[in-house]
């Protein structure tokens, strides 16, 4: 069985991640890359509370694009600002925690 390290409850009963999701201050923005391309960056996620590797994987699957994570930032290939916002909300991040630049 999978036990949460924070509260000691089985993962199915644990709400630590939902609580953590409500306390994030996420910013989504575009960054310019070489050759006029743009990537979408998601930052402000507390990596002590949220599994960034898992989140990156989910976003990449949902958007069907490439991407990486580093230093608390997720960088996705291409312009996906509104889509990323939608997907983060679907993953349980409340809309008021997400800012779009
Ligand atoms: Zn927990």
Give the distance (Å) from ligand 1 centre to CA of residue 9: 6
Give the distance (Å) from ligand 1 centre to CA of residue 49: 10
What SS3 state is found at 6?
Answer: coil
- The confidence score (pLDDT) of residue 31 equals 97
- The confidence score (pLDDT) of residue 94 equals 96
Four-CA torsion 18, 19, 22, 23, nearest 10 degrees: -140
Confidence of residue 1 (pLDDT cuts 50, 70, 90): confident
Other CB atoms within 10 Å distance of the CB of residue 39 = 20
Give the distance (Å) from ligand 1 centre to CA of residue 33: 39
pTM: 0.87
Confidence of residue 5 (pLDDT cuts 50, 70, 90): confident
Confidence of residue 17 (pLDDT cuts 50, 70, 90): confident
In the chain, pLDDT over 70 holds for what percent of residues?
100
CA distance 64 to 45: 21
């Amino acid at each position: 069985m999978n036990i949460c390290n924070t509260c000691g409850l089985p993962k199915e009963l644990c709400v630590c991640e939902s609580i953590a999701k409500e306390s994030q201050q996420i910013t989504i923005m575009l960054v310019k890359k070489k050759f006029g391309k743009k990537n979408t960056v998601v930052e402000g996620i507390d990596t002590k509370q949220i599994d960034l590797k898992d989140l990156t994987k989910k976003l990449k699957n949902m958007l069907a694009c490439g991407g990486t994570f580093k230093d608390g930032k997720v960088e996705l290939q291409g312009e996906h600002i509104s889509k990323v916002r939608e997907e983060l909300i679907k993953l349980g991040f409340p809309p008021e925690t997400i800012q779009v630049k």
